[in-house]
Structure formats: C-alpha cells, structure tokens
Amino acid sequence: MTQDGRTEQRRGGFSGWIDAVLFDLARQMRWSFLPPLMVYFAAGFSGLTGIVGTFYVKEYLDLSAAYLAGLAFWAGLPWALKMPLGHLVDIIWRWKWLLVYLGAGLIGLSMIIMYLVITQTAMMATVMPPSAWFIASFLLTPCGLVLQDAVADAMSVEAVPRVDAEGAPIADEASRAMHTTMQTLGRFALISGTVAVAAMNIWMFRGIEAMDDAAKADIYARIYLVALLIPLLSVSGVMLAGVQRYRARHRMLGRGLTPDETDALFEGPDEKTEPNPWYFIGGGAFVALTLAVGLGQVPYGQEIVFAGSMAIVLLLMRQLIAVLAPAQARALIGTATIIFVFRAVPRPGNGQTWFEIDVLGFDQQFLSVLSLITSVLTLAGLVVLRPLMASRSIVWIFVMLTLAAGLLNLPNLGLYYGIQDITAPLTGGIVDARFIAVLDTAVESPLGQVSMIPMLAWIARNAPGNLKATFFAVMASFTNLALSASSLLTRYLNEIFTVTREVTDRETGAVTVPADYSELGMLLIVVTAITVGAPLLVIWLVQNSRLRSTD
C-alpha cells in the first residue's frame, strides 16, 4: 500500500470514529425524545442552587461537616421511593403526568422557602429558625425530583416509537438501538442542565468578591427565584408530550387506522400491569420506618433506616427478577452489585470545599467555572464513551472507572499538601491551585453519569414491556441507596477526621469555632484507598462467582 493509501485509510478510520461518536447519535434523535429530555434537563438544572447553598450554609448557619453529611443521607432517601412510584406509573400509565405536576409543586415550594428566608429573614424566623427552613427546603427538592424522575423514566420508554411513519412495526434491532440512544440522551440532557446552571452562576456571581453582605444576599435570593424555572421546564415537557400524542393519533387516524387500533398504540405497554401489592407494602414500610426513626430521634437512626431500606429493596428486587430467565437475573444482580459498591465509596465531604474557599481562595465565581468545566467534560465523556460502552464489557468499563476515580483524588492531595507550590517553579509558575482543581475536574467529570448507562440500557432492552418503569425504579432505588451508604461513610470519616471552618458571630464578629484543616490530608488518603480498593475487590469477587457478568 502506498503512503497516500495508508493516509487515506487513517482518515477513513478517523472519519468513521467521528461518525460513530457524533453523527450516529444525531441520526438516532427523534422528535418524540424531547419531552422526557426536558424533564431530565430540569433535573440537571436543579443544581442551580448548589453553590449558593454551600455559601449560605458557610456564611449564615452553624452546621458541621458531619451534620451536613448526615443531612445528605436523609435527602437521598426519597430516591428509594422510586420502587412504589415506578410501579404506580406502570399502573396509571395514562395519568402519570399528574406526578410531574406534584413534583413541580414541591420543587417550587422549596425554592420559595429559601427566597423568603433570605429576603424576609425576620418574618421567617418567627416561625422557625433559618437552619430549620434550610433543612426543610433541602429535603423538599429531592422529594419533587424523584416524582418527576419516575415519570421521566417511563416517558423515555414511551418516547421510542413502536411503529414507523406508515404504521408498520419497527424491527427489534432498530428498537433496541433507539432505546440505548434514548438513555444516553437522557444522561446528556441531565448534564446539559448542569452546563446551563454553571454558565448562569458564572454570570450571576460576577464581581461578587468585592460586594458587601447585603449585595451577596441579594444575589443568593435572585438565584433561588430563577430556580423556579426548574418546575416550569418539567411541566412544559409533559405538555409537549400531550401535544405530540394528539398529533400522532390524528395522523394515524388519517392513514386509515381505527380508533381502537390507534388507542392501542398510545395507551401504554402491550400488556396491562397487574398491581403487585408488595411494592406498595414495601414503600409504606419504608415511609413508616423513616418517620418513626427520624421523628423519634432514635440512636443510630440513619443506620437503622439504611438497613431497613436495603432489606425492603432487596425483597422487592427478588420479586422483580423472578420474571427474568435465571441467567439474566444473575447477570443483573452481579452488575447491580458492582455499580452499588462503585457509588457507595465515601467522599471527603464539605471540609474539602471549605479548605478550597478559606485557604486556596476559591470564590463563588471560580466554583461556578469548575462546575461548567465538569459539566462540559461530562457531556464530552458521554458522547465519546458511548461507542466504547457498546463494544466493551460492563466489568471492563467499571475497572477503568474505578482507576480513574482513584486518580481524581491525587490532585486533591496535591492541593492540600501544597504540591502546587513545589511544582510551580519547575513549570514557569503555570501550575497553581486552580490549575490542579481543573485537572481534578477533568478526571472526575464523566464517572458518575457513565456508571449508570450500562444498567439503564440493559433494562430498556431486556425488561418486560409492562414492567419497564418498575424495573427502572427498583434498580435505581438499589443503586441510589449506594449514595446513602456513601453519605453514611462520609459522615463516619468526618467524625474520625475532624475538619472545621471558622465560624464567627455575625453581630459581634467573635470567632465561635476556629478553622482546623490539620486532619484533612489523612481524610483524603483514606478516601482514595477506599475508592480504589473496594470496587476492585467486589469486581473480582463477582467475576469469580455465579453472578459473573459477560454483557
């Protein structure tokens, strides 16, 4: 082969890769995909209040890192309710949009509470302390999001057409491809919401370092007001789905289908979903357990709730996988176990963010820039890794994700131990804390979202048609409990390695809690060791058992 021929071959190979990564994804996009993508986008956009919430807690509330980690545990528990919610969606398929409206109301209430707490502090304080209002708002948002997410999962199944423009059934292979694309685009829309959030935060936080407390509070309040767009977006997605359904139905009637034949294409799954009381019994038991332990302030309450929730989820998973072939059931259990451990590893907690703010001088705008970089790189990772996920095994993917997760903690250690000061003279001064923080972001960004796509695609392809929302909900509840486990482990480590930021009395200026970051370094080392060691050990155990995944 000539040199020109080899060059042309290489160009063709690169063009083929670009086609598989970018253009093929665009070709598989359907107009019907847009409504669930809008709901997913709204979920990503809900992160708009993340940075302002961090600074509000740091500047106005006396809450420890361990307490905040515990609060994150409680905020993650509503996602375990996706089990009965997903089954409810399968049962009330025609009326599932009502849950989106209910979720939108809860999210809107959460944002209004924080807007009033900031702008009408004295009035709100006559009812409850600001810290109590913050906690109420913090817990309302995930309750609303989980309602909408359960419906969005069902809408993502409904969005994949079962017939072509002429009314003929779509081939199974093409349908499976569209389901995989729909799940990838769902993660893409979610992260696109975080991109919009980061860009908006950068704009709204411009010049904040020179502002006084009153001006900062005004910006915080405006951000919570803008966050009312979150429920508006999700409701708009449901309304668009109704318009699409109306037009598609009339198009089919115009092509000669009878009303009964047309209704059969749009009413829901091929088979009616028989209500399984165990899902609602399990959900009711979870709510009762959570309320009894939480309101009763039972010692080790979080541990009791986690153990009870895990028992309930495992019981319902056993009910669910009974409809699968034994080999499919074992593979799904093995895959879910690997994902669970990967997501359950602890994080450093709020102490790391406080260190970056107090010691390294990261302000609201720079943290917004980091968030934007994270979101953009995650989008790129989802697109670039999509063909790789199609050609590589799930186990191979998670080995690589685990190693990458360990690597992302190394820049954090460098920031704490001042490595930026050591290396800067060797690199002309270009390596500083902010450069290393961006490097950290570049490694971290795609991991969490990529980790869920294999399971979502597997469910979309293999779950029975009349139980897809239930499958999504139960498996998501199991893997989301991993985030509760992560919050528990984070709290334990923050209790062992104490990290405090400086807290001052806003009236007298007296320091009530001194800053102490002396134990942050050991905390980061332990987190790194667990992040790498635990998932690799579980992958080895699963792959040497009957649960071995070959998918």
Residues 182 and 303 in one domain: no
169: three-class secondary structure by DSSP: strand
Number of domains making up the chain: 3
Question: Each residue of 340-376: pLDDT tens digit?
Answer: 898 898 888 888 778 777 777 777 777 777 777 777 7
The whole-number average pLDDT for the span 235-242 is 88
Residue 423 is predicted with a pLDDT of 42
**Which of 260, 286, 318 is a domain's end point?**
318
What are phi and psi for residue 338, nearest 5 degrees? -65, -45
- Considering the domain boundaries, does residue 13 fall inside one? no
Q: What is the pLDDT of residue 176?
A: 64
Lowest-confidence region among 252-261, 368-377, 443-452: 443-452
* Position with higher pLDDT, 342 vs 403: 342
Same domain, yes or no: 402 and 444: yes
Residues 435-445 pLDDT 10s: 555 555 555 55
Higher pLDDT, 129 or 68: 129
CATH (domain of 34):
1.20.1250.20
Contact 327, 478 (CB under 8 A): no
pLDDT band of residue 76 (cuts 50, 70, 90) is confident
d(CA 55, CA 494): 19
> Does residue 430 belong to any structural domain of this protein?
yes
Q: Considering the domain boundaries, does residue 7 fall inside one?
A: no
Domain annotation covers residue 409: yes
Give the pLDDT score at 412: 64
301 and 334 share a domain? no
Kindly report the CATH number assigned to the domain that includes residue 499.
1.20.1250
Classify residue 511 as exposed, middle or buried by CB count within 10 Å of its CB (0-12, 13-18, 19+). exposed
Q: Which long-range contacts (CB under 8 A, 24 or more apart) does 208-211 make?
A: 208/363, 208/364, 208/365, 209/363, 209/365
Looking at residue 18, its pLDDT comes to 67
In a domain, residue 16? The reply is no
Do residues 331 and 549 lie in contact, with contact meaning Cβ atoms separated by under 8 Å? yes
Does the residue 19 lie in any domain?
Answer: no
Other CB atoms closer than 10 Å to residue 86's CB: what's the count? 27
Higher pLDDT residue, 548 or 391?
548
Please report whether residue 11 resides in a domain.
Answer: no
Note the pLDDT tens digit of each residue in 157-201. 777 776 666 666 676 666 666 766 787 788 788 888 888 887 888
Does residue 393 sit in the same domain as residue 251?
Answer: no
Give the residue among 290, 405, 400 at the shortest CA–CA distance from 347: 405
pLDDT in tens, 490-541: 999 989 998 888 777 767 777 777 888 888 888 888 888 998 899 899 999 9
Residues 71 and 173 in one domain: yes
230, 252, 268: which is the final residue of a domain?
268
Check residue 512 and give its pLDDT.
77
For residues 430 and 366, membership in a common domain is answered with yes
Q: Which stretch, 21-30, 99-108, 206-215, 328-337, has highest mean pLDDT?
A: 99-108
User: pLDDT at position 2, please?
Assistant: 41
**pLDDT given for residue 253 in this prediction:** 73
% pLDDT > 70, the chain: 75
Whether the per-residue pLDDT at 285 is higher than 60: the answer is: yes
Task: Say which residues have a Cβ less than 8 Å from residue 123's Cβ, sequence separation at least 6.
Answer: 116
pLDDT at 338: 87
Q: State which residues form the domain around 385.
A: 323-550
pLDDT computed for residue 116 by the predictor: 94
Note the pLDDT tens digit of each residue in 468-494: 667 777 777 787 788 889 888 999 998
In the block, residue with structure tokens 């685990």: 402
Does the structure show a pLDDT above 60 at 7? Answer: no
118 closest CA partner among 4, 237, 227: 227
- Predicted structure pTM score: 0.67
Q: Computed over its alpha carbons, how large is the radius of gyration of the chain?
A: 24
User: Helix, strand, coil shares of the chain as percentages rounded to 5?
Assistant: 80, 0, 20
Q: What is the pLDDT of residue 449?
A: 59
Higher-confidence residue of 13 and 360: namely 360
Same domain, 307 and 336: no
pLDDT confidence band for 421 (50 / 70 / 90): very low
pLDDT digits (tens, 9 = 90+) for 288-298: 877 777 666 77
The pLDDT confidence band at residue 11, using thresholds 50, 70 and 90, is very low
Region 302-317 average pLDDT: 84
Does some domain include residue 118?
yes
Residues 297 and 420 in one domain: no
Domain end (from 268, 289, 304):
268
Give pLDDT, residue 408.
66
CB atoms within 10 A of CB 247: 11
- pLDDT for residue 433: 56
- Claim to verify: residue 494 and residue 363 sit in the same structural domain: yes
pLDDT-based confidence at 319, cuts 50/70/90?
A: confident
410 and 519 part of one domain? yes
pLDDT value at position 501?
80
Examine the domain organization and report whether 91 and 110 are in the same domain: yes
pLDDT tier at 60 (50, 70, 90 boundaries)?
confident
pLDDT exceeds 90 at position 308: no
Q: Please check the confidence at residue 269 and state whether its pLDDT lies above 60.
A: no
If one compares 98 and 405, the residue with the highest pLDDT of the two is 98
Mean pLDDT of the chain: 77
Coil, helix or strand for 512? Answer: strand
- How far is it, in rounded angstroms, from Cα 501 to Cα 67? 13
Same domain, 310 and 342: no
Between the alpha carbon of residue 150 and those of residues 144, 412, 468, 469, the distances in Å are 10, 35, 11, 7
Both tokens of residue 525?
């080392």
d(CA 323, CA 319): 8
Res 388: pLDDT:
65
**What's residue 4's pLDDT?**
41
